[in-house]
Chains A and B, each alone.
Chain A
Amino acid sequence: MISCEAFRTRFHASTEDPSLLDHLRACDRCLDFAVDVDPDVLFRSLGGAELVPPGGVDAFVSDVMRQVRVRDAETAAAARHRVISWPRRLAIAATIAAGLTGTLLTYRANAPTVAPQPIARIAHASAPVAAKALVTKPVVETYDSQNATIVEVPGESSDDVKVVMIFDENLPADL
């Protein structure tokens, strides 16, 4: 390192001379002098030094290497997990697919076969079923109430079932 005398002789504003900057950063006695000549070096005086982390370099390096080993172990474990699970996942998917296919085939084989019928015949056949269902319901022939509103749904022909709707707050629930 250059002497304080040499520093004070050679130092000037906006210097980039590494030897002068080294001296500036190492010598407390010359710092005040340098800032007086060039205030821009005020914060420049802080740099340069290679700092040691708290706890020292050895502890720092050990910490880093420990964390690196942990990460490596995690990565390796994750990779192993992936290697095992993919065939397993494929096997599970294949089992599910085979099960669904088998169920579908079995269902189709056991389902009662219905012969296709013309649409008109089906419509005709369903009419008595509906009528029969209506017959099983209680039939109201007379209804006498001051508060009831009775609406009769008009039918298209005389064969149609007559539908009458009774709106009454006092109507029995089981009717």
Chain B
Amino acid sequence: MSAELHVMMPTTPSVEPDDRQLVQTIREGDADAFELLVRRKTSKVYALCYRIIGNGEDAKDIAQLVFIKLWENLEKYDASYAFDTWLYRMVTNVAIDFMRNRQSRENAVNSNLRLVKTAADAEQTVVVQRKEVEHVFNDISDVLSPKQKTIFVMNQMDDLPSAEIAKILGCRESTVRNHLFNARKLMQQQLQKRYPEYAQLWRER
């Protein structure tokens, strides 16, 4: 049985084309190659959209829009740059645009609806739980500008260094570091105000 299986196995392992090769194949008119590229990048693109936008359905729509833009602009990709950098630039542009539009729509409405915890709650000891952290992040990160949030997410959650983020956003590294510094400060202020039990973590150090 095992001998039969051995015979059925391919003798040479199939090597998956890298992103650049895939793009080249797509440019030559192979739509299946594009499907493969979408499948390969879906989780990363969706995760970044979700972290920036904070809502699953919106993040899905934005991620789909990113791939459609990718298809329409593939001719503009310069293969001397890393494909992921180019793709991330597209994701951040679309997500930041979406965030700006949404902020201008919802700012006035939602500012009065957010849950503000009282200082009395700070006395309780906090056991950090992942689901709760996610909820806290989605709740307080609205105070960040779309660009600050994008940079914060890419640095803190995607572990991208400032230099790489600067390349993606087409700005200086010092600008990225400034945004990061301000974002952290704003997030801590919001924790202090709305989730004092978490802010306590910093005070106790």
Contact = CB atoms under 8 A, between A and B. Distances in A.
A53 interface: yes
A54 B64 CA distance: 12
Given A44-B156, A71-B68, A71-B72, A51 B50 contact: yes
A40 to B, nearest CB: 8
A65 B68 contact: no
Contacts of A67: 64, 68
Given A32-B127, A68-B71, A42 B133 contact: yes
Chain A binding surface, main DSSP class:
helix
B64 A60 contact: yes
A42 B128 contact: yes
Contacts of B60: 53-55, 60
B94 interface: no
B82 to A, nearest CB: 18
Nearest to A57: B42
A21 B159 CA distance: 9
Contacts of B39: 57, 61
B202 interface: yes
Interface string B34-66: 110011001110110011000011011001100
A47 interface: yes
B201 interface: yes
Interface string A59-90: 01101110111010000000000000000000
A45 B64 contact: no
Contacts of B198: 42
A120 interface: no
Nearest to B134: A46
A163 interface: no
Chain B binding surface, main DSSP class:
helix
Interface string B66-78: 0110011000000
Contacts of A50: 43-44, 47
A45 B159 CA distance: 11
23 contacts: A21-B159, A28-B129, A39-B201, A39-B202, A39-B205, A43-B137, A43-B156, A43-B187, A44-B157, A46-B134, A47-B156, A50-B44, A51-B46, A53-B56, A53-B59, A53-B60, A57-B43, A61-B39, A64-B38, A65-B35, A67-B64, A68-B34, A68-B71
Interface of A: 16, 18, 21, 28, 31-32, 35-36, 39-40, 42-55, 57, 60-61, 63-65, 67-69, 71
Given A60-B42, A60-B63, 17 more contacts: A39-B202, A42-B133, A42-B198, A43-B152, A44-B156, A46-B130, A46-B134, A48-B158, A50-B47, A51-B43, A57-B43, A61-B35, A64-B64, A65-B38, A68-B34, A71-B71, A71-B72
